[in-house]
Amino acid sequence: MSEAPCQTEETVGLFAGQHVLAELSGVSADLLDDEQFLRHALGEVLTQADATVLEVISKKFDPQGVTVLALLSESHASIHTYPEVGSVFVDVFTCGTRAKPALAVQLLAGALGAAHVSTDLVTRGVKEHVA
């Protein structure tokens, strides 16, 4: 039997999660336009933050910019780059309690060498088990 979205073995029935919204700036334009680097970096930081990466897709735009989306067992993550201003939007939402979305953002900022990081954390759902 497959698990429902936003449920992991440790938290079946827990309708709760954390949503981290971040803006990173002071990043090299070359890195923000490197689709393969960004795909690899996002997948790696999510794994290090105990998320389960199912699939990573991406799109490189002309003349510049990249969007990378990661489908997670715990939900999703995305990055949208703006090389022309050295900035990137990051969105990581994980259900349950095992994955650490704030850590994923912190690790990504380090991988990108971001000079500035601004984050907002949104706690979603309820804190008790649903029958």
Q: How far is CA 43 from CA 62, 78, 128, in A?
A: 23, 10, 30
Given this model, what pLDDT does residue 73 score?
95
3-state secondary structure of 106: helix
CATH class of 16-124: alpha beta
Count of H-run helices and E-run strands, the chain: 3, 6
> What residue spans define the domains of the chain?
16-124
Enumerate the active-site residues: 75, 80, 95
Please name which of 74, 71, 113, 110 lies closest in space to residue 94, comparing C-alpha atoms. Answer: 74
Given this model, what pLDDT does residue 127 score?
64
**Reported pTM:** 0.88
Average pLDDT, the chain: 91
For 24-67, write each residue's pLDDT tens digit.
999 999 999 999 999 999 999 999 999 999 999 999 999 999 99
Is 70 exceeded by the pLDDT of residue 72? yes
CB atoms inside a 10 Å sphere around CB 64: 13
Please name which of 87, 77, 78, 69 lies closest in space to residue 32, comparing C-alpha atoms. Answer: 87
For 94-112, write each residue's pLDDT tens digit.
999 899 999 999 999 999 9
